[in-house]
Structures are given as C-alpha cells and as structure tokens.
Structure 1
Amino acid sequence: MSSPTYYATVDTHIGPFTAIETDGTVLASGWTGTIDDLMEVIHPTLRPAELVPRTELGDVTKAIVQYHEGDLTAIDTIPVLQKSGVFLQVAWDVLRTVPPGSAITYTEYARLAGNPVAIRAAASACARNAAALFVPCHRVLRQDGTLGGFRWGVQIKRLLLKHESRTDV
C-alpha cells in the first residue's frame, strides 16, 4: 500500500476494538487490543509494510464509538477493502446489506451471495472476514439458530447480537 496505514484501539463496553485503515478505508478490525491479531487476516497484497499508531482514526473511530453507543448504522458508510475470489468478495458485500437485528442463517447467506449450495463457502467468508463489525459476519447464525463460531469469540458475538436487538436504541 502506498498511502500511510494507521491503527488505533478504542475501548468499548464489549472490549478493546482495534482498526487498521488507510485513506479512511478499513483493512482489518476486531475486538482485540493488538494489531498482530489483525495483520494475519489482511490479504498479503493489501498487507501494509509499516503501521503508524494513532489515538484515533477520524470517521472510522467515530463510527466505532457511535455503533457501540447505539447508532447501529454508523458503520454502514465506512469503506472496507478486502481481497479474495469472486464468491468471497460478493459474500462480504452481501453481509453489509444485512440490517442490525436481522440475523440470517448460513444457508440464507449462501443464497444471498448467489450460490445456494455454497453453505461452507459462506461460512468460510465469515471466517476469512478481516473487517469485523464493518462487514458484520456476527449476523450469521447456524440453521438451528445457534451462534456458531466467531473469530473474536462466541461471547462477543452474543453481546453484539443482543446490542443490536435492543429496542431502546
């Protein structure tokens, strides 16, 4: 990447949340206090050679704070850059259309991504998603309604879904 790449960590009620961005575009993010957890999930062709720490990341940090404070759509306009094959690219775009409080199953997710039989590929898209929160893979559940896995832990997934289902926000 030719532009400077920055990272910052925000304390949230769910735990520390770190984002890596360049030019206001999120490359990776998640509920962690360390960039090492995020660097490994950035596609090798997008992985920055150098990261510059910041106390905040402008609109990215603002969206993180607003989301955790209850504005569940604050993350929707933040650009994200991930790279993979066609199905995963489409699948990640689809996740950004799932509204807060409207969890879908992996089967529904595969259908929405254009390949109804690609349930395992849909699950893989969640597992390989580098930009957690901004690409809300936590909104995908197993067919039986159970949570399934989540890179940042099932307890965080549960807290996110509970946060998004609140009716007082």
Structure 2
Amino acid sequence: MENYAVFLRGINVGGINIKMADLKSALKDQPFSQVKTLLASGNVVLQSGLTPAKVKSGFEKCLRDSFGYDAWVVVLTAGRVGELVAACPYPADDKSTHSYVTLASDAAMLDELVEAGHALDSVELTRLGPEALAWLAPAGGTLDSPFSKLTAKARYKAGTTTRNLRTLIKVKDAATSL
C-alpha cells in the first residue's frame, strides 16, 4: 500500500461545490483506504495498492460519476509531496509574499507555464521537478498577480492545480502519517 495525496482542481470555486463529507462518501466504494479530506479545498490523502495513474483515473471517474462535472486531479505519493516541500526555496509564511506550488499531471503543460511565466518580469519561479513549480505572489494580491491569472486560463485547467505552500505542508504531514 502506498500513501497518496490527491489534489482536486477547481472545486468549491466557480460553482462546483462539493462538501468534503460527500466527497469522502463517494470514494468509499473505490479501492482506497484511510481516506481523509483536508481544508475543504480539494485535498485528499489516502492509501491504495494502485499505481498513481490508476488512482488518478479512478478518482476522476468517481468524481465525474458522483458529482457530474469534468473532474481533474493531480496524484502524488506522500514521499514526493515531502520532496517538493523540501525543495521549495520560498518561505511558508512571510508578511510580504505568499509562496505557491503549481502541480501538474502533464509535464509538457508545466513546461509551457514556465516558459510563459518567464516572459512575465514580475514573477519569481522555481521549477521543483517535472510535476511542480514554486512561485511567489504579493500578499493580498495573489489573484491579481500576472502568474496567477496565467495559471487560471482554461488551457491549464485539465492538467494543473495550485496550492499555497502552507497547505502543501499540511497535506504532506497528513499523507505521511496515514
């Protein structure tokens, strides 16, 4: 059995509202155990004997069937989440900036985001691996930051999702303690 972190894209924003209790209930018939939801923003930790790709496809199908929307998730092992958190050069807490990590299920899509991000003079980016990119946004201005607007484009919807570094740390802690 492997410990996994599953990051859902776009729930509890933009009209797709899913209660975490309903999500957990929908997953009960899946080949997952120790399912825990975190922070009502689409973070799930679980155990499974499936590969990451099978967890992803099963999870997405369950969401589509149970909640009727085009669901996309990024699945990482607990160990990989820990590696990404450790590799992030930015602080988890800072009064002037917030640290974010954009996670991708498609490395080519993340490559494209990195290239587009480097064209923006106002963003600091650090590639953490094939599936993750760390970046900074001004405190209080995240949604207005040029890179945040870039990541929100429909082009990236199916393959990426972004989390605050503090959230990623909480998910790592929960996933490793299953």
**Which one has the bigger helix percentage?**
2
Question: Which structure shows the bigger proportion of residues in strand conformation?
Answer: 2
What TM-score results when the alignment is normalised by the length of structure 1? 0.29
TM-score (norm 2): 0.28
